[in-house]
Structure 1
């Protein structure tokens, strides 16, 4: 006697539906994975490439303008010595240290443009400096931003800057590699100011605003900073990498000024 196997259609439908669900779920996971990968590539690679190219173009535009061969509106200078955030400027000598007794006025800047170039030889870095530390207006362009209310290059007080550590050109990616006596140059239309790295604060909170005061000093990490007036440079960025929880701070002192 031959037995005939009875196949229930409801069971077949359930199994087919299960396979479709598994297949659809797998396709959805693959799609999500591809989208996330593209987002990472865009954030970590494309924004860096785009910002770096834009920053390099701006550096070249500033150099052409300062040499008299470019659009003068891209060569905005720092605020005048009589502005509210200004005290005095050092002597215009390439070999002398700052002299508080002298000063010189400079044209008012166009804040929509970069007005200086920051060069850090140890990091092989050369980027434009613009006013403000907004993400879209300055930092996401691959620029370094000047903290409003702090001094300008070469002026008594604190010339304070911020830059991205990751993405959008990440100019301060390797800021933690700087050590005492490394040099940092700031070029403007009228002069080149050279600072020497003096101190490094590896980590402080994002609310530690005292690190960019005229006499910079951390209120979160006592013992880090200065107590007397001087000609200071402050560089800040996020730390650890790929986070914005804390801030890394590098301080320097002005050692020379050379007219262009």
Structure 2
């Protein structure tokens, strides 16, 4: 994964069966790479119709998504897989709480933010912690895996593909 606007270049994204920020995904992220949950409760692969979810650490383990919150609408996220480059463009930000199951469902939905809606296009969710924001607000809650209460998600839509 490459995100020119925030200096991410060639970040490895490891696919696994699961949901965003579960135990197996956290183990992957703790290696300093990004994790991409797939399957019935996770997301889809690059270029597929639905929600291609990528999670990564912002404040620890090499901070691969340390600047993810700086992404703004119009910034490009480039995914290289199988000899193809998938070009997604950020079009919104969604913040969710780990303590609210309805908000977790929004993050993991096939159409980000709209559980139960059938997707018609390829989308991407880049998800990382809101630890600095939570701590600044006096919120030091975290789950058993160390995830803070809030996640910041940058949502984008696939706009182009081209051969590598």
TM-score, normalised relative to structure 1: 0.48
In structure 1, the gaps of 5 or more residues are 1-117, 220-225
1:67 match: none
Higher relative contact order (CA 8 A, sep 6+): 2
Answering whether residue 31 of structure 2 is matched by residue 141 of structure 1, we say: yes
Of 124, 146, 156, the match for 2:49: 156
Number of aligned residue pairs: 135
Label 1:229 to 1:122 Cα distance change in 2 as closer, same or farther (>3 A): same
* Per-residue Cα deviation, 1:142-167 (whole angstroms, up to 9, x for no partner): 11100122110011111111101111
1:254 match: 158
Label 1:212 to 1:142 Cα distance change in 2 as closer, same or farther (>3 A): same
Between the aligned partners of 1:247 and 1:213, the Cα distance in structure 2 is 15
Aligned-residue CA RMSD (Å): 2.0
1:56 match: none
Structure 1 residue ranges (4+ consecutive) displaced by more than 6 angstroms after TM superposition: none
In structure 2, the gaps of 5 or more residues are 17-23, 141-147
- Are the aligned partners of 1:214 and 1:229 in contact in 2 as well (CA < 8 Å)? no
Equivalence map 1:72-83=2 (5 Å): none
2:71 match: 178
Question: Greater Rg, structure 1 or structure 2?
Answer: 1
Answering whether residue 129 of structure 2 is matched by residue 238 of structure 1, we say: yes
- Are the aligned partners of 2:49 and 2:119 in contact in 1 as well (CA < 8 Å)? no
TM-score, normalised relative to structure 2: 0.75
Task: Name the structure where helix makes up a greater proportion of residues.
Answer: 1
2:97 match: 205
Between the aligned partners of 1:245 and 1:218, the Cα distance in structure 2 is 20
